[in-house]
Amino acid sequence: MPEASTDPTARRLGPLAGLALPERHEVEGDVGITLEVPGPVSIVGVEARRGKSVTLSRRVKKAYGEMPKPNRGAGETVRLLHVAPDTLLCLAEDRAEGALHAELRELLGDAAAVVDQSHGRTLIRLGGPKARELLAFGTGIDLAPEVFGPGACAATMLGHVAVTLHLRSTAPTFDLIVARAFAESLWDWLKGRAGRFGYEVVG
């Protein structure tokens, strides 16, 4: 049995903990895809209550500097993805258990439903020069760089699994947020299609 930890984030053991192990599979001496499961990540869903759309935008702007436009992400330490009308998916790394939820509840609790999803969703980071090609196997959205550029986010289907995509940088680096119960299936799907490009799982 693992020893009890005093680390407040230690309880957040993701569903890919025993699966996303470092490995490298080259094709012609190269890899086109990198996969990583960063952790622990705090994930909180925010949805404005009826008539509170403006209140939500105003308070988010005041606290974090910007209310992202539809289908865009904004923010550094707290990332806010505007994935649906009056709905944000909020992400932060290296936060203590429940801290992001408490912060957003304090800020928006009377104007929005604020739900901690840190245990319910998993973040998979996908990078490498072939990342767009890989995603194109499984989603119908337009991934052309001039359409889906840095900062873009989308709620879509990937390999028949509902995911939220966020393009963090031009590198490109995509963050994929998926429901916990589908994480293993999506992980297998990603690795299965990454094989042809060569891939590396970063520990």
Contacting positions for another protein (CB under 8 A): 70-71, 83-85, 87, 140-142, 154-157, 162
Question: Which pair of structure tokens corresponds to residue 185?
Answer: 């299936």
Q: Helix, strand, or coil here: 117? A: coil
Residue 8 C-beta: closest distance to another protein, Å: 32
Instruction: Give 71 or 185: the residue with its C-beta nearer to another protein.
Output: 71
CB distance 118 to 42 below 8 Å: yes
Instruction: Give 139 or 173: the residue with its C-beta nearer to another protein.
Output: 139
Residue 106 C-beta: closest distance to another protein, Å: 26
Residue 85 C-beta: closest distance to another protein, Å: 6
What 8-state DSSP symbol labels residue 66?
Answer: -
CB distance 193 to 137 below 8 Å: yes
Instruction: Give 55 or 156: the residue with its C-beta nearer to another protein.
Output: 156
Instruction: Give 62 or 69: the residue with its C-beta nearer to another protein.
Output: 69
Residue 191 C-beta: closest distance to another protein, Å: 22
Question: Which pair of structure tokens corresponds to residue 172?
Answer: 């490109």
| Beta carbons within 8 Å of 162's beta carbon, 6+ residues apart | 155, 156, 178, 179, 182
